[in-house]
Structure 1
Amino acid sequence: MKASLSAKKRPLFYLLTLSSPILFFLLLELGLRIFSFGHTYPLFVDAKGMPGYLQASDQVIKRYFNDPKQAPNVSIDTIYFKKEKPAATFRVVVQGGSSAAGFPYGRWGGLAGMLNDRLEASFPDKDIEVITTAMSAVNSYTMLDLVDEIIAIQPDAVLIYAGHNEYIGVMGAGSALTSAQSHGAKLLFLKLKDLRIYQLMQRVMGLFSPAPPAAQGGAARGTLMAKAAANREIPYQSEIFDQGQQQFASNLQLILSKYQQANIPVMLGTLASNEGDQKPFVSDPTKESATAWQQKWQVYEQAMADGQYPNALAAASQLAQQFDTANSWFAVGQALLASGENEAARNALLAAKDRDQLRFRAPEEMNTIIKNVAEQFSAPLVDVQQYFVMHSKDGIIDNSLMLEHLHPNKRGYFLLAESYFNTMKKTALLQDWSQAQPSAKAWREVPITEVDAILADYKIATLKADFPFTDTPYKVSFPTPNDTVTQLALARQSGQQDWIANMQSLLGYYRQQQDHPQALIVARMLAQAFPSQHGPQFASGMLFLGLKEYPRAIKYLHKALALEPRNSEARKALIYALANTGASHQANAELEILQQQLGNDPVIKSLERTIQAAKQ
């Protein structure tokens, strides 16, 4: 009887024995969370002072570092959006690195800002949100990690412009900003990083480990580029070179698979970079130290200086065939360009970029991967690179569209957004494109202020004054503030004014100068930045009204009245705008509300006459 009872208890004994470690770790995890050990950095958080709105957290980058103090000082630009997505709202999310984010112009220079502005102008009667999750130094691992949280906010489309950071960015194949090296280890890290037990283990291990490479590299060189590179040189078609491609292809497939399962359309963009004017950062120093290389290089340089381009091309071609280095291919490209052979020159310049061993620019293999994955998942391809080529002199992307190696200038960012805008139009994500804003008008209204342009130029000058653009860092002086706009730029740069105060000052200046188009750009940016504030919405509506752009005035005046329903000035302006679009029925409805507010005010009769005149 006892033996029989023991046999019955044996499975329970085994179950308890096997489950005890699991129970222990569950209780340990729960205990660590109860006592607030460790950290979680959600992608989206409640917007401070704006009930009902969310924004991207400025702490997201910290989730990828065992010690959050080692995280670079980068964040996602703040865009407020409704926590509960209204049924009529069309919501777009942008993913990518610094080029998608709009460096150095900020939110409105990036893909989200430019595209939101263009869509808003093209669909004034629709509620459109374009939200960015792009930030500097991140790559496809970060994008993959954010997908579930992006799906949770119910986007109607996701736009991806990424691939430059697969080697040097956070968790890149050759980056100092990562501890895990293999693809599998990095994916496992993404799964475990939020567990408090894992964070406890990392902290204990950190007590016995030296400082990570990022901290060591950053001590001597201040820029994020320097910290990420940490003297990493990745030869063309080397093992690490191949790892970068493999991780990008694998992660991109996982990303699109997740979005496809959630029925969210994705647009993938090819990558553009400076081909014509950016010399390779690091060629092959071993090969180029050879006497034979040096001799042929001197022949090439002398022939170029003398304008003997056939001789220069012959010497450069010999260098490329014999040594196959980035510098030799760049020389071939320059000689061909000087000879007027533009198509062959571009191929040589692309070969030079691919062989640049300091991999801040994506090799052409990344564009091949983007095209293949887009085809595999039937995702619309946005051929950004080709769009830039079409708008470049001699068909070669250079400083006319780029600020340095890969960040577009004002015109370049406009083209980046326009390439996605045109693809959205072709795929009819929004139904009626009959009022799509023409390119020329959109260019005149680009949401980059004169202050933004001055600050961007200063950031780029500072960037170029350090690694990898120079071996001897130097200090850059801010432009002399000889005019009001430069004075305002200096006030923002020095911290004397925050963004809001600075923009308000700039708006006041443009109004004083009666520069209504520039004032409208500033007012519109303020309105988009603070969707729950009446003032910017009203100011934008009135400025559009003054320019007789009635549909766009109506959009902002409706927003202003939704925030302050008893604001009679906003309602007067709305009635006038509605009358001038022929919407007399709506104008009369608003007039009745206004009459209830004001009684027999003389303005009522005036507005009645306006409505009647518009009918005729």
Structure 2
Amino acid sequence: MKRTRPNSAPTAASEIPFSRRILYATLVLSVPVIFLAFLEVGLRIGGYGPDLRLFVPRTIGGTEYYGVNVAVTSRYFPSLHVQPGISSDLFHVHKLPGTIRVFCLGESSTLGYPFMYNGSFPAILREELALLYPERPVEVVNLGVTAVSSYTVAEFGRWCLDFEPDVLVVYTGHNEYYGALGVASTESVGRARWFVRTYLALHEWKTFLLVKSLIGRLGGNAGSDSPERKSGTLMEALAREKDIPFGSSLYQEGLDQFAANIGSLLEAAQRRSVPVVLSTLTSNLRDLEPLRTVLTATSPGFDRTAHDAAIVSFRNMVVHGKALDVREQLRVLANADTGAADIAFLLGRANELAEDYASAQQWYARARDLDALRFRGSSDLNELIRTLAKTYGMPVAEPEQIMQRRSRYGLIGSRFLLEHVHPTLEGYGILAEAMLDPLLEVLPKAGRAAVSKSSKFRAVVTPVDTIAASMRIDILVHSWPFTVTNRSLSDLRAGSWEESLSLGFLRRELTWEEMHVRAAERYESDAKWDAAANEYRALIAATPYNVSPFLRLGGVLLQHGRRDDAKHVYEASLKIEETSQARLKLAQYYFDSENYADAARELRSALSLGQLPRTSLPDIRLALVTALLRSGDLNAAGGEAEKLAAEYPSYQPAQGLRDEVRRRLGGPGR
């Protein structure tokens, strides 16, 4: 009988049940997850990394506010260690009843560059809304950031929806290509929008921040003092692909990025029933030649050398008033190369000189659109903004239309724009004016004053602000892309004490507040009371939560003999913070007005605050007895006089006044 061979021994894998193999695999795969979870918890407990919230709490004078967190901008600059400009605006943690709260989102033109602070359109809007809603608290928060794209604006806007806004205002688009995370920016993590949004979302995790920091150290991030920053402006550092021809795939990619990001913000705002005022963009058309021309040579027989020679010749002819002679020749060149921004600009100038202003405006706008260095939002971008507003049922502001109506011959230039996109003070006033009408469409009518809006939208800006702004612009227009060389703060010199203060502020030797206080003190020493008062008004406008400039302004007005104005300022200061100084000044006002009952009330309030130095208490309490006595309240005067004389037995004025009160009350004197 044939013997069969036994089956071979089972393998180790076949001996392990399938369920157990699944368990082992799960445990193996869980190890890195568990490690990362413990690492994340440990980093959070240890407080690792910066706080990247948009708003952080602050307490001033016992009141809780939210302030803009300067660290939040690091989310958007993956390689450059820079601190973009950002505002210091505050708003109440607990929204006061009836408050009008507006968040303004955008880039440097929203921030108010080069004036900043009170020179921005959000600051001007705040003043206008305060006039229109005199009985309501008004909070207009400037969230403009320099050198950012719509990724930052959209993310800021979505976060703002959690802070009870009445409306959002969006003025953005000029930085869409070169701003941080833009499609042609050096500050990029890729062009795929899903990847960029994932990258931003990962900043909520401390583990990601740790990895990002380690990579940055290994890669040697460019700091603020890096060669890149020393050799050029931030504009140059951010522009990776400098030439973006009109209608190119990269040009369209920027428009698509803008539409997706701003569309996501509008969708989120719509779900929360928060209106958003969008604004089209304005830029310098007449007084800024295209920064970069990229020739497309679309016509047969195109000759680049002949083109360049013709440009030089025609420019000279236009300058010398021979516009009529060259218009047709310029049109021929424009048809030969439809991407020639320089030809379009010359056609604008030639038509202007020929007094065909409608054609001039069209060609100037065409030159702006063809400019391959895309620091100015194009006509397509403005149309996209209008389309987004219509799609989501949001109001739209049209500042360019107002500027065009008020410009000579309808040609927008240096009256309203300092260089390519940043407005003059008058230009910022127009931005605020354009925003106000659509704002009033969506803001509550309750509590609105029955007054017309201001005929002029003015910023609370003083000479040291305008000097600092001029210095900023001087550096900007003497650097790339306007010139081949670069100017810096170290190249500037001060010729007056005002310039010294402004330069000290720009060099960060002084804060903005210190600059204004020193300017005010200099004006006070020169008895220039109006100028000193304006410095304090600027501080009040920018820091309405700070009582100090109110008190200083009141003192200046008293020095200038403007008692009634000083009284109103001191009363306004008490809405910010109770101070013995304000109460004493009001008491003095009522004493001088022979309103002794109100003087006594103010003195009692000053004493109750417990802020007065002990050495001043006898004199102030004596003044209280005097006020009570003169007001006819003899019983109260007697009680205060007895206490004062008992506490200060060697204070002879108190003893004498006590005796006088006793005599009036019919009691014994000393």
Q: TM-score range by the shorter chain?
A: 0.7 to 0.9
The answer as to whether partners of 1:166 and 1:173 remain within 8 angstroms in 2 is: yes
CA shift in 2, pair 1:517/1:88, >3 Å: farther
Is 1:351 paired with 2:366? yes
The answer as to whether partners of 1:297 and 1:315 remain within 8 angstroms in 2 is: no
| Residue in 2 that maps onto 1:409 | 424
CA shift in 2, pair 1:605/1:222, >3 Å: farther
State the Cα distance separating 1:158 from its structure 2 match: 1.2
Is 1:194 paired with 2:204? yes
State the Cα distance separating 1:142 from its structure 2 match: 0.5
| Residue in 1 that maps onto 2:512 | 499
The answer as to whether partners of 1:451 and 1:485 remain within 8 angstroms in 2 is: yes
| Residue in 1 that maps onto 2:315 | 301
State the Cα distance separating 1:177 from its structure 2 match: 1.2
Stretch deviating more after TM superposition (447-456 or 190-199): 190-199
CA shift in 2, pair 1:603/1:177, >3 Å: farther
| Residue in 1 that maps onto 2:188 | 178
2:450 paired residue among 434, 450, 464: 434
The answer as to whether partners of 1:124 and 1:555 remain within 8 angstroms in 2 is: no
| Residue in 2 that maps onto 1:582 | none
State the Cα distance separating 1:557 from its structure 2 match: 1.6
| TM-score, structure 1 as length reference | 0.84
State the Cα distance separating 1:530 from its structure 2 match: 3.9
| Residue in 1 that maps onto 2:269 | 259
Stretch deviating more after TM superposition (390-399 or 521-530): 521-530
State the Cα distance separating 1:459 from its structure 2 match: 0.9
Which runs of structure 2 are paired with 1:14-93 in the superposition (5 Å)? Answer: 23-47=34-58, 52-66=64-78, 70-93=80-103
The answer as to whether partners of 1:119 and 1:128 remain within 8 angstroms in 2 is: yes
State the Cα distance separating 1:599 from its structure 2 match: 3.8
Secondary structure of 1:72's counterpart equals coil
The answer as to whether partners of 1:174 and 1:232 remain within 8 angstroms in 2 is: yes
Secondary structure of 1:71's counterpart equals coil
CA shift in 2, pair 1:265/1:305, >3 Å: closer
Q: 1-side partners of 2:304 and 2:130: how far apart? A: 58
Is 1:463 paired with 2:479? no
State the Cα distance separating 1:151 from its structure 2 match: 2.0
Task: Give the % identical residues.
Answer: 25
CA shift in 2, pair 1:72/1:156, >3 Å: same
State the Cα distance separating 1:510 from its structure 2 match: 3.8
CA shift in 2, pair 1:555/1:73, >3 Å: same
| Residue in 2 that maps onto 1:112 | 122
CA shift in 2, pair 1:93/1:536, >3 Å: same
2:147 paired residue among 137, 146, 163: 137
| Residue in 1 that maps onto 2:638 | none
Per-residue CA distance 1:84-133 (angstroms, 9 max, x = gap): 22223222111100000001111111122222223234444332111111
The answer as to whether partners of 2:341 and 2:370 remain within 8 angstroms in 1 is: yes
Q: 2-side partners of 1:195 and 1:81: how far apart? A: 27
Q: 1-side partners of 2:501 and 2:214: how far apart? A: 48
Q: 2-side partners of 1:148 and 1:336: how far apart? A: 46
Q: 2-side partners of 1:382 and 1:550: how far apart? A: 40
Q: 2-side partners of 1:22 and 1:319: how far apart? A: 64
Report the AA paired with residue 450 of structure 2: S
CA shift in 2, pair 1:81/1:427, >3 Å: closer
The answer as to whether partners of 1:124 and 1:552 remain within 8 angstroms in 2 is: no
State the Cα distance separating 1:594 from its structure 2 match: 3.1
Report the AA paired with residue 439 of structure 1: S
Which runs of structure 2 are paired with 1:186-225 in the superposition (5 Å)? Answer: 186-202=196-212, 218=228, 221-225=231-235
The answer as to whether partners of 2:166 and 2:443 remain within 8 angstroms in 1 is: no
Is 1:362 paired with 2:377? yes
Secondary structure of 2:140's counterpart equals strand
2:285 paired residue among 253, 275, 278: 275
The answer as to whether partners of 2:475 and 2:486 remain within 8 angstroms in 1 is: no
Per-residue CA distance 1:363-412 (angstroms, 9 max, x = gap): 11111111111112221111111122122121121111111110011111
| Residue in 1 that maps onto 2:654 | none
Secondary structure of 2:104's counterpart equals strand
Q: 1-side partners of 2:133 and 2:144: how far apart? A: 24
| TM-score, structure 2 as length reference | 0.78
| Residue in 2 that maps onto 1:167 | 177
Q: 2-side partners of 1:133 and 1:260: how far apart? A: 20
Is 1:337 paired with 2:345? no
| Residue in 2 that maps onto 1:101 | 111
Q: 1-side partners of 2:517 and 2:223: how far apart? A: 43
The answer as to whether partners of 1:60 and 1:75 remain within 8 angstroms in 2 is: no
| Residue in 1 that maps onto 2:602 | 594
CA shift in 2, pair 1:450/1:565, >3 Å: closer
CA shift in 2, pair 1:573/1:502, >3 Å: farther
CA-atom RMSD in angstroms? 3.8
Q: 1-side partners of 2:562 and 2:155: how far apart? A: 46
| Residue in 1 that maps onto 2:328 | 314
CA shift in 2, pair 1:425/1:573, >3 Å: farther
CA shift in 2, pair 1:309/1:47, >3 Å: same
CA shift in 2, pair 1:29/1:573, >3 Å: same
Q: 2-side partners of 1:332 and 1:547: how far apart? A: 59
Secondary structure of 1:47's counterpart equals strand
| Residue in 2 that maps onto 1:614 | none
| Residue in 2 that maps onto 1:126 | 136
State the Cα distance separating 1:54 from its structure 2 match: 2.2
Report the AA paired with residue 175 of structure 1: S
Task: Please list every run of 5 or more consecutive structure 2 residues that lacks an aligned counterpart in the other structure.
Answer: 1-16, 606-622, 634-670
The answer as to whether partners of 2:51 and 2:71 remain within 8 angstroms in 1 is: no
The answer as to whether partners of 1:160 and 1:267 remain within 8 angstroms in 2 is: yes
1:323 paired residue among 315, 323, 337: 337
State the Cα distance separating 1:276 from its structure 2 match: 0.6
Stretch deviating more after TM superposition (177-186 or 536-545): 536-545
Look at both structures and tell me which one has the larger radius of gyration over its CA atoms: 2
CA shift in 2, pair 1:17/1:41, >3 Å: same
1:485 paired residue among 467, 484, 498: 498
| Residue in 1 that maps onto 2:573 | 559
CA shift in 2, pair 1:17/1:503, >3 Å: same
The answer as to whether partners of 2:100 and 2:166 remain within 8 angstroms in 1 is: yes
CA shift in 2, pair 1:435/1:299, >3 Å: same
| Residue in 2 that maps onto 1:391 | 406
Report the AA paired with residue 501 of structure 2: L
State the Cα distance separating 1:258 from its structure 2 match: 1.4
State the Cα distance separating 1:316 from its structure 2 match: 1.6
Q: 2-side partners of 1:248 and 1:549: how far apart? A: 54
Q: 2-side partners of 1:217 and 1:357: how far apart? A: 26
Secondary structure of 2:144's counterpart equals coil
Per-residue CA distance 1:113-167 (angstroms, 9 max, x = gap): 2222232344443321111111101121011222343122222221111111110
Task: Please list every run of 5 or more consecutive structure 1 residues that lacks an aligned counterpart in the other structure.
Answer: 1-5, 580-586, 609-616
The answer as to whether partners of 1:249 and 1:373 remain within 8 angstroms in 2 is: yes
State the Cα distance separating 1:451 from its structure 2 match: 0.6
CA shift in 2, pair 1:212/1:485, >3 Å: closer
Q: 2-side partners of 1:522 and 1:436: how far apart? A: 28
CA shift in 2, pair 1:304/1:196, >3 Å: same
